[in-house]
Amino acid sequence: MDYHQHLVSPAFSPIVKLPERDGTALVRDLDAAGIERSVVLSVGYSFADERKGLLDPDRLTREQNDWTSTEVVKNSARLIGFCSANPLRAAALQELERCLGLAGMVGIKLHLGNSGISLRDAAHLATVQGVFGLAQRRGAPVLVHMRARGGTSYGAEDVRVFLDKVVPMAPDIEVIVAHMGGAGPGYPAQNDEAMAVFADAAERKAPQMRNLYIDVATNVTEEITPPEAQLVAQRIRQVGVGRVLYGSDLSPPGGSVRRGWEIFRTKVPLTADEFGNIASNRLRFVR
């Protein structure tokens, strides 16, 4: 399973400055990497990033969710769709509710950084709690990119708020934290400040960790140092390989889905059995 993938629609291509990639093209990449299935995360939220200054961002978000659904349905045996929206938009909850009714769309992608959200802001926190309340009601898993915009004013405090005040809003859904609690590419020290809190919570068997998983999308690159790779392995073992998920993201290390997985396998000092466990992890919404 690849739990963290994106497509590039005709509308998104000029924004991200990458060539278009539809569902069929992604499936070819998965085949080359020997990956059975992938979670496709809509990038609808990106159109509502106010820094881009796009006209009618709510319409663009809807259209991106619709396009993602269409591509997932064309490749339904291989792809699973997640809806997205910028939670700070007034129309966000309505759009997520609508999108979860589309064919092939089973979960929600939140990108706190792109959306300009900080969990230290009470109003922003309440907004994210509202999304998790919707996810609980709809039984929809959530994948969340937690790192704040620019990586500033973000770290252990944010993870504690997330565990104490957000996760309890949706106790029955599966929650995936992207990029080992930070961002990618790479695994900088700030990533580990956040990840250390998740590791501690897992070792304490905190109830908030019952349905919480961590993806390693783009954290392991060719340039990772041996001490950084050792720290990645340590954190994976602390949270448990059963809750660690592989993901490639839009620009995987090494330039391809296949190479990204090879880099992960060769750079991180885990055992073959541990890598096998990570590769075979299947969440309820996949099974």
- Region 213-223: what's the mean pLDDT? 98
Annotate 79-142 with DSSP letters as a single string. EEEEEE--TTSTTHHHHHHHHTTSTTEEEEEEEHHHHT--TTSHHHHHHHHHHHHHHHHHT--E
Domain residues of the chain, as ranges? 2-280
User: pLDDT (tens digit, 9 = 90+) per residue, 67-85?
Assistant: 999 999 999 999 999 999 9
- Region 6-35: what's the mean pLDDT? 97
pLDDT band at 150 (very low <50, low <70, confident <90, very high): confident
Average per-residue pLDDT for the chain: 96
pLDDT at 153: 85
Continuous H helices in the chain: 13-16, 23-33, 57-74, 92-99, 112-115, 122-138, 156-161, 189-203, 226-239, 257-267, 272-280
Distance CA(226)–CA(124), nearest Å, equals 38
pLDDT at 189: 75
Return the CATH fold of 2-280. Answer: TIM Barrel (3.20.20)
pLDDT at 188: 82
User: pLDDT (tens digit, 9 = 90+) per residue, 275-285?
Assistant: 999 999 999 99
pLDDT at 191: 84
pLDDT at 1: 95
Q: Is the pLDDT of residue 152 over 90?
A: no
Q: Is the pLDDT of residue 46 over 80?
A: yes
User: pLDDT (tens digit, 9 = 90+) per residue, 185-212?
Assistant: 999 877 899 999 999 999 999 999 999 9
